[in-house]
């Protein structure tokens, strides 16, 4: 799990005037499930297509297993792609689709037949050999697309939002299926998605991207619990992002009230952003809280209640398993470990705080 399989070095790419990737560096380790996560237009798909060989970077290099493959044609690369809209060959049966890569490589008939059977079993679609792609549901087509890719035994499987077109239930089933597949095959997955839940569920490593820049790289826990900037915080899960001042180490002033925290090294009286997850806010009696407020909205969400508390002219988003009636006066209390302090971005460009939907 340690050696670098793919190394992306100083890659830039633009389409016309539109700079999509700017001097990007990233490495992918062997056997890793790495997810490129970001809103649409952040450059994640372009990066995947550069790895797959469908785009050539304007500058920079792609190193695969120690070899420079920047200008290598896609058909010469030891990796395979699962496309967003499956891209099955409609003029062929399922078996022919799966056999496509193997036939090109000139494998024997019996080998190909074995592989087809193996792959269909792997994706739970035994007996579908002679069906046509049109007769399959979206989820089935997706699994065929995966089967078609993995029979070639690639070192890396690239997946471009493969679950995007599926409904929620199917999506969740397929997530587990993909994790199972990855474990059975023991190969590297590079996965592109804009769905943070998908990323958090499946990945070993998440790369959060926005406007052509990498915003943060880390494990799902890192990304969720310690977002490096407001963009990541806002994009991953729901959060309260509050303008704040770092009074001194371990003390931050939010909306005029002082909160103890655990962060150090931000200097004295520096403007910062404070992130507090809604489930980390405890609602207590007014006199026990750091700030007092009034519950203004209440919605039942199944697992929890979602509430809005207006305090110091800010609407705090709060998740709690306990219901508090609208109009109740409450106090807000936060555990120091649950306050995440982030530097204010120095320039808008470099950190790209705004989110474009």
For other proteins, the binding residues (CB under 8 A) are: 18, 52-54, 73-75, 77, 80-81, 83-85, 87-91, 100-101, 104-105, 148-149, 152
Q: What is the CA radius of gyration of the chain?
A: 24
Query: How far is the C-alpha of 160 from the C-alpha of 163, rounded, in Å?
Result: 9
Q: Could you tell me the smallest distance in angstroms from the CB atom of residue 87 to other proteins?
A: 4
Query: CA 310 from chain center: how many Å?
Result: 32
Measured from the CB atom, is 68 or 356 closer to other proteins? Answer: 356
Measured from the CB atom, is 31 or 97 closer to other proteins? Answer: 97
Measured from the CB atom, is 91 or 321 closer to other proteins? Answer: 91
Task: Report in angstroms the alpha-carbon separations of 213 from 5, 63, 112, 286.
Answer: 21, 19, 42, 43
- 42 neighbors 214 (Cβ within 8 angstroms): no
Q: Could you tell me the smallest distance in angstroms from the CB atom of residue 74 to other proteins?
A: 4
- 310 neighbors 240 (Cβ within 8 angstroms): no
Query: How far is the C-alpha of 37 from the C-alpha of 43, rounded, in Å?
Result: 10
Measured from the CB atom, is 66 or 106 closer to other proteins? Answer: 106
- 219 neighbors 205 (Cβ within 8 angstroms): yes
DSSP 295: E
Measured from the CB atom, is 54 or 305 closer to other proteins? Answer: 54
Q: Could you tell me the smallest distance in angstroms from the CB atom of residue 142 to other proteins?
A: 13
Q: Which two tokens stand for residue 354?
A: 């705004």
Query: How far is the C-alpha of 89 from the C-alpha of 98, rounded, in Å?
Result: 10
Q: Could you tell me the smallest distance in angstroms from the CB atom of residue 112 to other proteins?
A: 13
Q: Could you tell me the smallest distance in angstroms from the CB atom of residue 45 to other proteins?
A: 11
Measured from the CB atom, is 156 or 246 closer to other proteins? Answer: 156
3-class SS string, 26-85: EEEECCCEEEEECCCCCCHHHHHHHHHCCCCCCEEEEEECCEECCCCCHHHCCEEEECCC
Measured from the CB atom, is 140 or 229 closer to other proteins? Answer: 140
Q: Could you tell me the smallest distance in angstroms from the CB atom of residue 42 to other proteins?
A: 17
Q: Could you tell me the smallest distance in angstroms from the CB atom of residue 319 to other proteins?
A: 35
Measured from the CB atom, is 158 or 200 closer to other proteins? Answer: 158
- Angle of helix 94-104 relative to helix 138-150, nearest 10 degrees, comes to 20
CA-nearest of 217, 90, 78, 220 to 152 is 78
Q: Could you tell me the smallest distance in angstroms from the CB atom of residue 105 to other proteins?
A: 6
DSSP 135: G
């Amino acid at each position: 799990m340690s050696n670098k399989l793919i190394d992306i070095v100083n890659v830039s790419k633009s389409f016309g005037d539109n700079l999509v990737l700017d001097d990007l560096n990233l490495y992918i380790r062997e056997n890793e499930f790495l997810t490129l996560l970001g809103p649409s237009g952040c450059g994640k798909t372009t990066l995947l297509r550069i790895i797959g060989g469908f785009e050539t970077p304007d500058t920079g290099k792609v190193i695969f297993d120690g070899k420079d493959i920047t200008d290598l044609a896609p058909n010469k690369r030891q990796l395979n792609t699962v496309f967003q809209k499956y891209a099955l060959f409609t003029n062929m049966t399922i078996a022919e689709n799966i056999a496509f890569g193997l036939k090109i490589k000139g494998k024997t008939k019996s080998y190909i037949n074995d592989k087809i059977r193996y792959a269909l079993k792997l994706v739970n679609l035994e007996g579908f050999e002679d069906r046509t792609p049109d007769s399959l549901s979206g989820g089935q087509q997706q699994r065929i697309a995966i089967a078609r890719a993995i029979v070639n035994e690639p070192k890396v499987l690239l997946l471009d939002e493969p679950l995007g077109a599926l409904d929620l239930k199917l999506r969740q089933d397929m997530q587990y299926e993909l994790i199972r597949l990855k474990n059975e095959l023991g190969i590297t997955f590079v996965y592109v998605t804009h769905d943070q839940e998908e990323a958090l569920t499946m990945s070993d490593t998440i790369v959060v991207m926005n406007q052509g820049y990498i915003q943060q790289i880390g494990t799902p826990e890192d990304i969720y619990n310690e977002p490096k900037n407001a963009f990541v915080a806002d994009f991953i899960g729901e959060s309260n992002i509050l303008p704040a001042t770092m009074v001194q180490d371990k003390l931050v002033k939010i909306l005029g009230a002082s909160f103890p925290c655990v962060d150090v090294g931000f200097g004295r009286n520096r403007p910062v952003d404070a992130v507090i997850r809604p489930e980390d806010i405890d609602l207590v009696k007014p006199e026990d809280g750091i700030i007092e407020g009034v519950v203004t909205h209440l919605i039942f969400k199944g697992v929890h209640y979602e509430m809005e508390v207006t305090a110091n002219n800010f609407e705090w988003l709060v998740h709690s398993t306990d219901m508090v009636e609208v109009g109740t006066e409450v106090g807000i209390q936060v555990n120091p470990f649950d306050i995440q302090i982030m530097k204010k971005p120095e320039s808008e460009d470099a950190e790209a705080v705004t989110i474009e939907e």
